[in-house]
Amino acid sequence: MNRNEIIERLSLSEPDSLAALYAEANEIKTSTIGNKVYLRGLIECSNICNKNCYYCGIRRDNQTVSRYLLSDEEVLSAVDFAWKNRYGSVVLQSGEQQSAHFTNYITRLLHQIKEYTNNEVGITLSCGEQTGATYKEWFKAGAHRYLLRIETSNKVLYYKLHPNDDKHSFDNRLAAIRQLRIEGYQVGTGVMIGLPFQTVDHLADDLLFFRSMDIDMAGMGPYLEHSQTPLYQFRHLLLPPDKRLELALKMVATLRLLMPDINIAATTALQVLHPEGREMAVSAGANIIMPNMTLPKFRPEYLIYEHKPGINDDADISKSKLEQNLQNAGIDIGYNEWGDSRHFTG
Ligand code: 5AD
Ligand code: SF4
């Protein structure tokens, strides 16, 4: 598929052509890696962040957030919940912190999770840009997948979304993604979809970027506005929610056609735009869902965007509803499996 053919797909709007695109992507998925969806229990370990991304609700300068770092026991109890419910993997996610204290915290958690679950649970990290030495230490301690979104592969757009300073360097971010591969991780990246100033051409280039980086996993979700962030002032430039959801689904489907054997997440942000947005993405080619395992009392403090679902949900309720929806759609769940990227394992 060349750039023009990608743009063509991302520009579809006829219901019949959209349905055909989603169906084709779903078929390619099924024939390449099967029909299974793998669940990753998402644990939001800390909302402390040194960065100031213009779009994000937990950016450093948002003083209305009360900051937390989960205790080892709190993380392990979330792991326990995921493990008992036959989730094959967990994701440890946090705001970006570079400190010996934070590095040790994650290393210690990795050892504890491996020991506690007899090495049964796979562990993905999503803890931002770190040094090669830190990535190496965490890999050695048991993490084997890492998510680090490029957010947009267009440098000019990147600097409309981030301050132009050392902490938010596009080149450093790219280098960090490359470093993860060197350290042996399955590498995941992704972008936000429907950002102010973003065009379909940018999105096509994002998909080509994923292919050129030979990524193993992708997580892409619609951009969602947050009133306590600088980007909120450009909300008049946004696509309406239904069109933003549609664009995100087209991105998922087109990426599946482009990279048939990678893992593609149906992200939580989709669920904000439609209660069954994640299930819709699965039917359009996604194969990973990351249900939130964070204890309810911390959830209101991890609002990267507003109207994030599950704030009042108990982990149990959201989980059973999702599983039921998937089962109703005839989709198998890969219980007790790590569900590694076929692109990586071959
Ligand atoms: N809307 C959608 N996604 C967002 N993220 C951060 N802020 C927002 C927002 N306002 C995404 C970023 C980040 C991931 C953890 O959450 O892509 O990498
Ligand atoms: Fe921090 Fe990530 Fe939010 Fe940026 S997107 S402010 S790095 S939590």
- Listing DSSP states for 21-50 in one string gives HHHHHHHHHHHHH-S-BEEEEEEEEE---S
List b or e across 245-280, with b for residues whose CB sees 16 or more CB atoms inside 10 angstroms: bbbbbbbbbbbbbbbbbbbbbbbbbbbbbeeebbbb
SS3 222: strand
Closest atom, ligand 2, to C-alpha of 47: 8
Cα 313–chain centre separation? 20
Q: Among 45, 59, 68, 308, which is best to mutate for testing ligand 2, by the most ligand atoms less than 8 A from CB? A: 59
Average pLDDT, consecutive stretches of 10 residues, N- to C-terminus, the chain (346 residues): 97 98 98 96 97 98 97 97 94 98 98 97 98 98 98 98 97 98 98 98 98 98 98 98 98 98 97 94 97 90 89 66 87 94 93
Q: What is the pTM of this model?
A: 0.97
Is the C-beta atom of 49 inside 6 A of ligand 2? Answer: yes
Q: Ligand 1 pocket test: which of 151, 192, 227 has the largest number of ligand atoms within 8 Å of its C-beta?
A: 192
Residues β-bridged to residue 189: 218
The pLDDT score that the predictor gives to residue 310 is: 77
Ligand 2 atom index nearest CA of 59: 6
Quickly tell me which residue has 């209660």 as its tokens: 275
Tokens found for residue 127: 């803890």
Compute the distance between CA of residue 312 and CA of residue 214 in angstroms, rounded to an integer: 38
Q: Which ligand is nearest to the CA of 189?
A: 1
The number of CA neighbours under 13 Å toward the Cβ of 249 is 31
C-alpha 264 to ligand 2 mean position (Å): 21
Task: For residue 148, give the ligand nearest its CA.
Answer: 1
Distance 186 CA to ligand 2 centre (A): 21
Closest residue CA from atom 6 of ligand 1: 56
pLDDT value, residue 313: 66
Structure tokens at 147: 């998510």
Is there an atom of ligand 2 within 6 Å of 315 CB? no
Q: Give 144's strand partners.
A: none
pLDDT score at 239: 98
Ligand 1 atom nearest residue 222's Cα? 2
Which pLDDT score is estimated for 329?
Answer: 85
CA distance 311 to 303: 9
Question: Which pLDDT score, from 0 to 100, does residue 320 have?
Answer: 76
Kindly identify the ligand whose nearest atom is closest to the C-alpha of 265.
Answer: 1
Ligand 2 center to residue 52 CA distance, Å? 7
Helix (H, G, I), strand (E, B) or coil at 41: strand
C-alpha dist (Å) from residue 216 to 152, 185, 339: 17, 9, 12
CA of 191 to the centre of ligand 1 (A): 9
> Which atom in ligand 1 lies closest to the alpha carbon of residue 229?
10
Residue nearest to atom 8 of ligand 2 (CA): 95
